[in-house]
Amino acid sequence: MSALAGELAQAASIVARVAAGASLADMPKQSPALIDLTHGTLRRYGRVQAIVRELSHRPRGDAMVEALLWCAIYALESARYSDHAVVDQAVRACAALERWTSKGYVNAVLRGYLRQRASLEARILRDPEARYQHPRWWVDLLTEAYPKDWRAVLEAGNSHPPMCLRVNRRRSNVADCLASLQAAGLRARQIGERALLLERAVPVQRLPGFAQGHVSVQDLGAQRAVHCLDLADGQRVLDACAAPGGKAGHILEDADVELIALEADAKRVERLAANLARLALHASILHQDCTQVAAWWDGKPFDRVLADVPCSASGIARRHPDVKWLRRRGDLEGFARRQGEILDALWRVLRPGGKLLYATCSVFPQENDAVIDAFVGRSAAGGAQALRLPLADGGEAQWLPDAERDGFYYALIQKH
C-alpha cells in the first residue's frame, strides 16, 4: 500500500471519530501530511459532505466510507496530488479500512466528482453550510453580530492559520531574531512590538533560538493580553487559567512580578511547566480549579488577574477545525455560565483598585460583552463596583480573525 493510501485511511479514521463527537485534541500525534488531510477536510466539512450527498445514489451508510470520501475530495481539491492518484489510492485505502466491498462505490463517487465538478459547484452553493463551511447556526450568529464583517470572519475560519512568534526581550530582540530567521531560510516580518509573522508555518524545531527561549509561538491576538494587563514591576499577578503557558511566559518576560499560575487539568499543568522551563522563567504553578478559591488562595490579594476563560474557541476555529462541528448553539449558554462563575470567584481575590483582564478566543458576543455586562451589573449589587476601563492599546475589545491574527476578546475591569 502506498503512502497516500495509508494516509487517506488514517485520515478517514480520524475524521470519522470527529464526526461521531471526538475531539482532534484526543487523537494520536499526526504527521504533517496527515494533519493536512484531517484539518483540511474538517475546514471544508460542510462542503465535502454536500458533494458526497449530491453524488451518492444511496442513503448515508458506512461512516468510515463516508469519511474516506470526504478526505479524498479534499485531496482532489487541494491540488497536491494528481486526480488519478487520489482516486486510485482512495480505492486502495478501502482495503486498509477493511471495506473491500466499497471499492466500486468509492471509485464511482470520485470519478463522478471529476466529471461533474463544474455543475456540482452551482448545486452545492445553495446550501449555506456547504458554501460557508460552517454550521448554519454559526453563520446566523455571525451575520447578526457583524453585519458588515461576517463573510470575512467565515473566510478566515476556513483559511490556514498564521504562524506568529513572540520575541523574548529578556534573551533577544526583534532585529537579531529576524536576522536568525533569514539565515535559516525563513522569511518573516514584524507586525507588533515584539511579534514576527512567518511567511509560512514551519515545525518549531526549525525556529532558530526556540529551544533556547529566544522566541515562542504565540498569535498576535494572544500577545495583546499582556499589553492590556497594565503590568508593573513588583505586582502580585494571578493567571487563573494558565495552560499552556503562552500568556504566563509573556507576563514574566514583560515585568518582574510574583506570578501564581493556576490550571485545573493535570496534563496541561505539565505543559505549562515545560513551557516556562524552556524560557527559564519561574511562577508558582498550582494544579487547581480557579473557582475553588478556598483550596488555593492564601488570603493575600492580587494587583492583577488574568482570566483567560474556557470558551467556544470560535475565534481560533481554523487552528481547531473540529470545533466548528463539535459545538452546538446551546453550548454558548453553558460557556457563559461558567465564565460568569470564574469572574465571580476571581473578583474575591482582586485588591481594591486592582485590575482584572477578561479574555476569550471567541467571536460570539454571548461569551464576551454579554458576560461582562452581566458581571458589571452583579458587582453593583454586591458592594465592590466593577468599572470597565478602556484597553491600553486604544483598540476595540473584539479583534476578529484575519490573515495576520486570530479572533480574541478582551475586557479590562477595575475593582472600584
From the first residue on, what is the mean pLDDT of each consecutive set of 10 residues in the chain (416 residues)? 90 96 90 94 94 83 94 95 96 96 96 93 89 96 98 96 97 98 98 96 96 98 97 98 97 98 96 97 98 98 98 97 95 98 97 98 98 93 86 96 98 95
Same domain for 36 and 119: yes
Same domain for 278 and 249: yes
Same domain for 312 and 277: yes
Residue 158 located in a structural domain: no
Same domain for 319 and 268: yes
Residue 154 located in a structural domain: no
Among 187, 218, 249, identify where a domain stops: 218
Q: Which residues are catalytic?
A: 361
Residue 139 located in a structural domain: no
Same domain for 373 and 227: yes
CATH classification of the domain holding 112: 1.10.940.10
The tally of domains found in the chain comes to 3
Same domain for 386 and 365: yes
Same domain for 226 and 210: no
Full domain range(s) for residue 180: 163-218
Residue 61 located in a structural domain: yes
Same domain for 228 and 214: no
Residue 392 located in a structural domain: yes
Predicted local confidence at residue 57, as pLDDT: 73
Same domain for 208 and 74: no
CATH classification of the domain holding 405: 3.40.50.150
Predicted local confidence at residue 382, as pLDDT: 67
Nearest to 113, CA basis, from 103, 121, 102: 121
Q: Between β-strands 398-399 and 236-239, what pairing exists: parallel, antiparallel or unpaired?
A: unpaired
Predicted local confidence at residue 380, as pLDDT: 78
CATH classification of the domain holding 176: 3.30.70.1170
Same domain for 270 and 193: no
Nearest to 178, CA basis, from 170, 187, 169: 187
Same domain for 183 and 69: no
Residues 6+ apart with CB under 8 A from 227: 193, 392, 393
Helix 3-19 and helix 83-96: axis angle, to 10°?
A: 70
Residue 141 located in a structural domain: no
Predicted local confidence at residue 1, as pLDDT: 56
The answer, as to whether pTM is greater than 0.85, is: yes
Residue 386 located in a structural domain: yes
Same domain for 403 and 265: yes
Among 90, 114, 133, identify where a domain stops: 133
Residue 152 located in a structural domain: no
